[in-house]
Amino acid sequence: MKFIDEYRDGEAAQKYAQAIANITDQPWTIMEVCGGQTHAIVKFGIDELLPSEITLVHGPGCPVCVTPIELIDKSLEIASLPDVIFCSFGDMLRVPGTYKDLLSVKAKGADIRMVYSPMDALEMAKKYPQKEVVFFAVGFETTAPANAMTVHQAYKQKIENFSVLVSHVLVPPAMKDVLCSPNNQVQGFLAAGHVCTIMGYREYEPLVEEYKIPIVVTGFEPVDILQGIYMCIKQLQEKRYELENQYTRFVHREGNTLAQNLIKEVFQVVPRKWRGMGEIPQSGLNLQDKYAQFDALKRFDINCNYAQEETKCISGLILKGVQKPDQCPLFKNHCTPEHPLGATMVSSEGACAAYYQYRKTT
């Protein structure tokens, strides 16, 4: 299949792995930002092809994983209300709040439905005008255009029983937060190709200049990732710091300006709390005042003051690239996809889920 087979070619992957080994003469630590890249790395054993001097660490690029526990708790309260149909992508249903998750609330009678698009939720609002339909709008810049279009359509069509619970987060501020951490070990980044397909890569240029660190926009197939690692290591070995684009077949510097304009029309940039990382300035999106009537938090006025239960989950350290999933003493013992202690074990982009599914450990 074009654009798949050639980027999963074993011979090409081995050639890049050897090229990386040939230019590496000292230890380097690189973070892949995106959870999709993390899963590809673990699934295909990409890190095991690399010389021992290179360490890949996994970043905060899983929007489900970083959705704050307070917002999960509020989603549970909204979903439990009478005459509410609560719509969500499947990943969110198992993410633990303080005491429970959406699936357990559904089991007790709440009308919670898994959808594949925010437009599915909007159509549901049209179908059931006597119900309040709420969509859990979670994601990075990649999913923001579809959610923005849905809200815009609700506004245009004057659909009054539809709202969104917004938990959109932005990638560049999270990368900056990682670099500012006193525990930072990252010397180079593989940036998420799908985010850059929407946003371009101009936003990463200030990070390169300020922190003197190479950033390579990278795709998601094994050859993509190995080429991205090669480009990043080559910069580090040559003491260069530049922004390079490996994912040229899809990503351009300017990105998709139509999608960007739609995001700006519907959303505004706000501070956002990230699960395991705390509040990061200017790292989230929320609805513009023009669309405030579709804000589920304002519509339902939910106040949750739960005393959060402490766990020994180290997901915050994993999201910052300080530790890896198999370094957690609870991994595969007390924390599994069936009984997760943290969101990184639940999401299809979570690092713990990737290690659990693909990495053989004893």
Angle (nearest 5°) at CA 65 between 55 and 99:
135
Range of weakest confidence among 106-115, 280-289, 309-318: 309-318
3 pLDDT band (50/70/90 cuts)? low
362 pLDDT band (50/70/90 cuts)? very low
3-state secondary structure the chain: CCCCHHHCCHHHHHHHHHHHHHHCCCCEEEEEEEHHHHHHHHHCCHHHHCCCCEEEEEEEECHHHHCCHHHHHHHHHHHCCCCEEEEECHHHHHCCCCCCCHHHHHHCCCEEEECCCHHHHHHHHHHCCCCEEEEEEEECCCCHHHHHHHHHHHHHCCCCCEEEEEEEECHHHHHHHHHHCCCCCCCEEEEEHHHHHHHCCHHHHHHHHHHCCCEEEECCCHHHHHHHHHHHHHHHHCCCCCEEECCCCCCCCCCCHHHHHHHHHHEEEEEEEECCCEEEEEEEEEECHHHHHHEHHHHHCCCCCCCCCCCCCCHHHHHCCCCCHHHCCCECCCECCCCCCCHHHCCCCCHHHHHHHHCCCC
Of the chain, the percentage scoring pLDDT greater than 70 comes to 97
The β-bridge partners of 111 are 85
Of the chain, the percentage scoring pLDDT greater than 90 comes to 75
Q: Say what the pLDDT of residue 309 is.
A: 52
Q: Which of 103, 173, 91, 195 is closest to 136 using CA atoms?
A: 91
Q: Say what the pLDDT of residue 209 is.
A: 96
* Bridge-based pairing state of the strands 278-287 and 162-169: antiparallel
**What is the average pLDDT across 246-275?**
96
The average confidence (pLDDT) of the chain is 92
Tell me the angle at which helices 257-266 and 144-156 cross, rounded to the nearest 10 degrees: 60
pLDDT tens digits, one per residue of 61-110: 888 889 999 999 999 999 999 999 999 999 899 888 888 999 999 999 99
**What is the average pLDDT across 300-312?**
68
Q: Is residue 327 predicted with pLDDT exceeding 70?
A: yes
198 pLDDT band (50/70/90 cuts)? very high
Q: Is residue 310 predicted with pLDDT exceeding 60?
A: no
pLDDT tens digits, one per residue of 114-160: 999 999 999 999 999 999 999 999 999 999 999 999 999 999 999 99
Residues 337, 321 contacting (CB under 8 angstroms) = no
Q: Say what the pLDDT of residue 1 is.
A: 54
Q: Say what the pLDDT of residue 5 is.
A: 75
Q: Say what the pLDDT of residue 203 is.
A: 95
340 pLDDT band (50/70/90 cuts)? confident
Spatial distance between the Cα atoms of 198 and 151, rounded to a whole number of angstroms: 18
Higher confidence at residue 274 or residue 8? 274
Alpha carbon distances (Å) from 34 to 175, 189, 224, 268, 354: 11, 10, 13, 23, 12
Q: Is the dihedral of CA 176, 180, 184, 187 positive or negative?
A: positive
Q: Is residue 245 predicted with pLDDT exceeding 90?
A: yes
**What is the average pLDDT across 305-312?**
60
pLDDT tens digits, one per residue of 161-189: 999 999 999 999 999 999 998 889 999 99
Class level of CATH domain 1-362: alpha beta
Range of weakest confidence among 7-16, 228-237, 333-342: 333-342
For 260, residues 6+ apart whose C-beta sits below 8 A from its C-beta are 198, 199
Q: Is residue 53 predicted with pLDDT exceeding 70?
A: yes
**What is the average pLDDT across 37-50?**
94
* Bridge-based pairing state of the strands 84-88 and 111-114: parallel
Q: Say what the pLDDT of residue 361 is.
A: 58
Q: Which of 112, 68, 11, 123 is closest to 273 using CA atoms?
A: 68
Higher confidence at residue 135 or residue 314? 135
